[in-house]
Amino acid sequence: MAFAGGGVAAAWLLLVGLFASSARGYAWLTIGASGLSMLVAVALARFGDRGAAVGVAITTGFGLAIAMALVTERWITSGWPLW
C-alpha cells in the first residue's frame, strides 16, 4: 500500500503544481499541498493504513525537496523568489 499512497501523493503534487504560473507560485502551492498531504498522512497513520501513510509522507517529502531545490536555484541566480 505504500506504493499506492506514494502514487496518489505524487499525482496530488503534480496536479497542484500545474496550477502555478511562476517559480514563486509553484513553490507556495507545493508548500501548501505538502502541508495538506502531511495532514492526510497523519490521519492515515492514526485511523487508516500505515503503509499508505508512509508512501504519502515519503513522496510528499521528495516533492517538497524538489520545490526547495527550485527555490535555491532561483535564489542563487536571481534573488529570493518567494517575496
Q: For the segment 64-79, what is each residue's pLDDT rounded down to a tens digit?
A: 999 999 999 988 898 8
For the residues 37-45, what does the mean pLDDT come to? 95
pLDDT score, position 51: 93
Angle formed at CA 44 by CA 42 and CA 45, multiple of 5 degrees: 65
Grid coordinates belonging to 69: 531545490
pLDDT tens figures, 14-28: 999 999 999 899 999
Q: How buried is residue 20: exposed, middle or buried, by Cβ count under 10 Å (0-12/13-18/19+)?
A: middle
35, amino acid identity: G
- Residue 50: what pLDDT? 93
Q: Is the pTM of this model over 0.85?
A: yes
